């Protein structure tokens, strides 16, 4: 068991370090750009990376410091505050992903008819407003962390250590107060299932638009030579960005589908490493997605970083 625990801890440290490095580089790459040149998409990426970074840091504090018993907690408030911050970062990351997927579909839809005309979300004011909505919703959906019941009966075997249970919802076969049950299923439906449906739907729509554009590729031969040169210079970059978005959306669907399955099909008492599994599912998207977005949008290229930081 100790060997398994050491392996989990090593993997946790590795994933956390990858996530910290990736999100910090993505944030620095974006903020190095002059503010008036930051596009809405980059602004949404900045919100996503910030949420990911906060989630990884707080999740590690909650899981490795509190749950592992390095500090004796006699009050529930430190636990509630840390879990509130963890859930806030998690929901913010999810909502910014939903916003990015909708934005990319809106940019791609009817692009040939719209030409260079902007969409509503291209406005930096609209980007600020939608980012504020994401943050406000995250705060609202995280607030029940302060009111749900943490302590179960004495025979509850979820592995409580101090005042912070591994399964924060505290819903198992033996103990699940009504307020905990309401929050659990509200959280799963509003913060996992609904975003999954939206991201999956927009991903399918993006693929459909790309396929329909591919069928019209023969019409490109009739445009002028200058127009051809313009498309050659922009086309690969656009395709690379879209592939990165689709890859990140696929990763999002995989991680949060697994999370839903574990939450709905299993109980904390069924799995001895419940908190570790929850950490790896939540942290994997927060750690890998900045690299997918950064590489796909040319924010992680060596030339770009040297030009900005040199």
Quick: pLDDT tens for 79-126. 888 889 999 999 999 999 999 999 999 888 866 666 667 788 888 888
How many of the other CB atoms lie within 10 Å of CB of 268? 24
- Least confident window among 57-66, 169-178, 183-192, 300-309: 300-309
Choose between 116 and 128: higher pLDDT: 128
**Which among 253, 37, 200, 42 is positioned nearest to 131, based on CA atoms?**
42
**CA distances to 5, 60, 279 from 276, in Å:** 9, 11, 5
> Would you say residue 22 has pLDDT above 90?
yes
Quick: pLDDT tens for 261-287. 988 887 766 777 777 888 888 899 999
Set out the domains of the chain in order of their start, with CATH numbers: 19-152+173-215+235-309 (1.20.1070.10)
**Which among 21, 91, 19 is positioned nearest to 286, based on CA atoms?**
19
Q: Judge whether 48 and 97 are in contact, CB under 8 Å.
A: yes
Q: What are phi and psi of 156, to 5 degrees?
A: -65, 130
What confidence tier does 62 reach under pLDDT thresholds 50, 70, 90? confident
Give the mean model confidence (pLDDT) for residues 169-189: 81
Using DSSP, state whether 143 is helix, strand or coil.
helix
Tokens of 276: 């570790």
User: How far is it, in rounded angstroms, from Cα 215 to Cα 180?
Assistant: 51
Beta bridge partners of 164: 161
Q: Judge whether 290 and 296 are in contact, CB under 8 Å.
A: no
Tell me how far the alpha carbon of residue 29 is from its chain's centroid: 19
- Least confident window among 90-99, 210-219, 231-240: 231-240
> Would you say residue 44 has pLDDT above 80?
yes
């Amino acid at each position: 068991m100790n060997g398994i625990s050491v392996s989990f801890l090593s993997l946790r440290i590795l994933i956390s370090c990858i996530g910290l490095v990736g999100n910090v580089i993505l944030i620095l790459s974006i903020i190095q750009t002059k503010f008036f040149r930051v596009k809405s998409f980059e602004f949404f990426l900045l919100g996503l990376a910030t949420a990911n970074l906060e989630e990884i840091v707080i999740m590690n504090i909650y899981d490795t410091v509190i749950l592992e018993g390095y500090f004796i907690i006699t009050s529930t408030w430190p636990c509630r505050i840390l879990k509130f911050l963890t859930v806030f970062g998690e929901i913010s990351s999810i909502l910014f992903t939903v916003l990015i997927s909708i934005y990319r579909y809106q940019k791609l839809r009817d692009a040939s008819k719209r030409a260079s005309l902007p969409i509503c979300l291209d406005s930096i004011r609209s980007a600020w407003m939608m980012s504020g909505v994401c943050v406000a919703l995250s705060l609202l959906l995280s607030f029940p962390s302060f009111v749900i019941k943490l302590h179960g009966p004495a025979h509850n075997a979820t592995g409580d250590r101090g005042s912070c249970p591994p399964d924060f919802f505290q819903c198992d076969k033996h103990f699940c107060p009504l307020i905990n049950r309401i929050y659990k299923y509200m959280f799963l439906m509003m913060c996992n299932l609904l975003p999954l449906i939206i991201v999956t739907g927009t991903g399918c729509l993006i693929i459909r638009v790309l396929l329909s554009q591919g069928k019209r590729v023969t019409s490109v031969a009739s445009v002028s030579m200058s127009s051809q040169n313009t498309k050659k210079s922009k086309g690969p970059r656009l395709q690379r960005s879209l592939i990165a978005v689709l890859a990140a959306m696929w990763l999002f669907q995989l991680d949060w589908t697994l999370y839903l399955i574990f939450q709905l099909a299993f109980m904390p008492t069924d799995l001895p490493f419940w908190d570790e599994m929850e950490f790896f599912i939540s942290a994997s998207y927060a750690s890998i997605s900045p690299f997918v977005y950064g590489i796909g949008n040319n924010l992680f290229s060596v030339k770009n970083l040297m030009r900005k930081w040199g």
